[in-house]
A and B are shown apart, each in its own frame.
Chain A
Amino acid sequence: MNILKRGQAGTMQSSDLMVIVEPADKLIIEIESTVKKQFEHLIRARLEQVLDKFGVASGRISISDRGALDYAIEARLETALQRAGGA
């Protein structure tokens, strides 16, 4: 799918994350997290997995995470992508 407009999902609550996806020329993933030092690589892997599943090849994916678990990351990104049109 293509990201056609800005899509946002999630909250800034503890154990949740906020995802913002926007159109861009290439794929850019920006991760802010209170547990970035320990888990950035795992968060990134999970985001990439979802992006793969939806065939997203370009867009700016920004997340700010407060220690969300895998399934929350997946669900929030999926929702943001759907809101960004096309999924």
Chain B
Amino acid sequence: MIVELTSGPDIAAAKNLIKRNGLSFEEGFDELFGIHESDELVAVGARAGNILKMLIVEPSHQGGPLLGEMATALVSRGLDAGFESLFIYTKPEYVRTFEALNFTLLANQGRAALLEYGNGLRNWLAAKRSLVRTGMNGAVVMNCNPFTKGHLYLAESAARQVDNLYLFVVREDRSLFPFDVRFRLVQEGVRNISNVILLDTSRYIVSGATFPTYFLKQDDPVARIQMELDITLFSSRIAPFFGITRRFVGTEPNCKLTNSYNDTMKRLLPDYAIELVEIERKEALSGVISASRVRELMARNELAQLDDYVPASTLAFLASEAAEPIRRQLQFDMRR
């Protein structure tokens, strides 16, 4: 029978089983499940949000019902928790095993593979079919936390170099500015660029599933694997659907992780006949424009200076009543 593992000895046994089978035990899960046989732990699996991980069946017990039982529990719990889609990272040699459980392969990077339960990606793309344009198309992916003159400059420069520019706003809600605000400010900011097609990244580009470490801003071997998976998924599934042959980024002087994401694109995109175009960052009189600088100014309540960094549409929001909780949050964070 499947049980949730919560006691110290149970978790220690799970750690042992996971490590013995060549995976690393990662803290930070919502639930950890186990199956015992004759008082011995023979299968484990964990769920962290919409990601299933550390799914192991003891080799001597493989080939039976345990994997299906564990997968059923993890998927059911994930769906109960309200996630529309569930993802699993696994070793490439297990891709077939999970495909037999109706997972769909999203990307295989050589050392790790990312699969999704069900057909979320296909459904998402199908829903965007009316946005597909012929011609020479480019893409830019931006979080816009919040939308600055730098983002505007990047969008304008990119739009001039292609027939159509797909502007993907990161959907994942892990930034200070909530997604709907970020999206609306982009929409207002780019409305005079006629060949921009605005959409969001859903769960498939720089998301908590494809690239969770992005939001933690740590550059480590795990982050490297995730960014390669994220870029492989973009290049092999998303870009061909929209007919994208150029991806635009701004040069990144500050954030090491974003910089290494850009480098990885430079290395991988050509394999899929996509060109990476780097656009020099726009500078204001007082230095490079970045969203983090904007947040810093807001935290110090130096709203007058913002004019240099953000377009009028963003400025109007930042100074508005609606942005009061965000300003207060920033000022609070700075004082801590």
Residues of chain A having any CB pair with chain B under 8 Å: 6, 8, 11-14, 16, 18, 20, 30, 32-34, 62, 64-66
Complex contact A11–B101 (CB within 8 A): no
Complex contact A8–B76 (CB within 8 A): yes
Q: Name which residue of chain A comes closest to B70, CB basis.
A: A12
Complex contact A12–B118 (CB within 8 A): no
Complex contact B102–A11 (CB within 8 A): no
Give the 7 A-B residue pairs with the shortest CB-CB distance, closest first. A64-B102, A13-B68, A11-B72, A12-B72, A32-B102, A12-B71, A12-B68
Which residues of B from 88 to 104 have beta carbons under 8 Å from A? 100-102
Complex contact B118–A11 (CB within 8 A): no
Given A34-B100, A66-B102, check contact A13 B72 (CB 8 Å). yes
For chain B, give the interface size range: 10 to 19
Q: Does B163 contact A (CB under 8 A)?
A: no
Select one of A6, A34, A64, A65 contacting B118, CB under 8 A: A64
Complex contact B71–A8 (CB within 8 A): no
By a CB distance below 8 angstroms, the chain B residues around A6 are 79
By a CB distance below 8 angstroms, the chain B residues around A18 are 72, 75-76
Complex contact B69–A13 (CB within 8 A): yes
By a CB distance below 8 angstroms, the chain B residues around A14 are 65, 68
Q: Does B119 contact A (CB under 8 A)?
A: yes
Residues of chain B having any CB pair with chain A under 8 Å: 65, 68-69, 71-72, 75-76, 79-80, 100-102, 117-119
**Would you give the shortest CB distance from A80 to chain B, in whole angstroms?**
12
By a CB distance below 8 angstroms, the chain B residues around A11 are 68-69, 72
Cα–Cα, bound, A33→B119 (Å): 11
Interface centre among B100, B102, B118 (most CB of A within 10 A): B102
By a CB distance below 8 angstroms, the chain A residues around B117 are 64
**Would you give the shortest CB distance from B290 to chain A, in whole angstroms?**
41
**Would you give the shortest CB distance from B237 to chain A, in whole angstroms?**
17
Given A18-B75, A20-B79, check contact A12 B119 (CB 8 Å). no
By a CB distance below 8 angstroms, the chain A residues around B119 are 30, 32
**Would you give the shortest CB distance from B132 to chain A, in whole angstroms?**
22
Complex contact A32–B72 (CB within 8 A): no
Q: Name which residue of chain B comes closest to A34, CB basis.
A: B100
Complex contact A33–B102 (CB within 8 A): yes
Q: List 7 A-B contacts (CB under 8 A).
A: A12-B68, A12-B71, A13-B69, A13-B72, A16-B68, A30-B119, A34-B100
Cα–Cα, bound, A55→B69 (Å): 32
By a CB distance below 8 angstroms, the chain B residues around A65 are 102
Given A30-B119, A34-B100, A66-B102, check contact A8 B69 (CB 8 Å). no
Q: Name which residue of chain A comes closest to B68, CB basis.
A: A13
Q: Name which residue of chain A comes closest to B67, CB basis.
A: A12
By a CB distance below 8 angstroms, the chain B residues around A62 are 118
Given A12-B75, A66-B101, A66-B102, check contact A32 B118 (CB 8 Å). yes
Cα–Cα, bound, A25→B102 (Å): 26
Complex contact B79–A12 (CB within 8 A): no
Q: Name which residue of chain B comes closest to A65, CB basis.
A: B102
Cα–Cα, bound, A28→B198 (Å): 27
Complex contact B79–A8 (CB within 8 A): yes
By a CB distance below 8 angstroms, the chain A residues around B68 are 11-14, 16, 66
Interface centre among A8, A12, A16, A18 (most CB of B within 10 A): A12
**Would you give the shortest CB distance from A35 to chain B, in whole angstroms?**
11
Cα–Cα, bound, A32→B117 (Å): 10
Given A8-B79, A18-B72, A30-B119, check contact A66 B100 (CB 8 Å). yes
By a CB distance below 8 angstroms, the chain A residues around B75 are 12, 18
By a CB distance below 8 angstroms, the chain B residues around A8 are 76, 79-80
**Would you give the shortest CB distance from B55 to chain A, in whole angstroms?**
12
Complex contact A34–B69 (CB within 8 A): no
